[in-house]
Amino acid sequence: MNKKDLLNHIRQEFKDVILGDSYTLVEEDYADTAYWHFDKEHIDSNLTSEEWNAKEINFLKTSNLFQEDIEEAIRSILEKRKMSNRFLNPLEIPPTYLDKYFTGFSYLKPEGYIFYTPSMMLYVLENSEEALRWNGFTWWLFRLNRNDSNRVFKCLTKNQLNILTEFLKYLIGLNTINKFDKGEDIRAVLKKIQSFKSE
């Protein structure tokens, strides 16, 4: 499938995916080092809830999160809830967001992972030379190469899984794919998808 057709199919087949009850990418990225989600009880038995909240809020204020994410994270801590998703359209999530919070891809529930997938694919197709060296793309791809990747595949429609397959095949065909050491990983994911389809 050529790039133009892929872009059209991604926009058509993924336009209605939602985050559902999954955590946002930024909250999962934060939990990677904090070992805590904002809607959960704090994990330090030596601190009161107020002390814990103050510590986390102070940390957030000096973090490298985008300012709007810092503000939403602080509100979430104070209200003991998940962070709100500030992106309603899964096709329009900024690449800077996907790359900044890259470790979150390892922790997203399958539905959450799928929500961020169309924007990742669209950006990579339009900017492959830049995107293939990204941490965001590397961690997004790594998630598909894990032992539990079938959990993601099961949540995709047949058409979505076929588009994901065609997207990965397209990347394999790029002259620069091996320059970024991604070819072997992409081939491994394609084998996992093939194995999943034959089950």
12 contacts: CB under 8 Å, gap ≥ 6:
none
Q: Per-residue pLDDT averaged across 38-49, rounded?
A: 82
Residue pair 117/153 in contact by the 8 Å Cβ criterion = no
Residue pair 141/156 in contact by the 8 Å Cβ criterion = no
Least confident of 4-8, 157-161, 175-179: 175-179
| Per-residue pLDDT at 153 | 98
| Per-residue pLDDT tens digits for 49-98 | 899 889 999 999 999 999 999 999 999 999 999 999 999 999 999 999 99
The residue written with tokens 């990742």 in the block is 120
Q: Which two tokens stand for residue 46?
A: 């030596």
Residues of 162-195 as b/e, b for ≥16 C-beta within 10 angstroms? bbbbbbbebbeebeebeebebeebbeebbebbee
| Per-residue pLDDT tens digits for 120-146 | 999 999 988 788 889 999 999 999 999
For the chain, domain boundaries? 3-22+87-197, 26-79
Round the average pLDDT of the chain to a whole number and report it: 93
pLDDT at 176 over 80: no
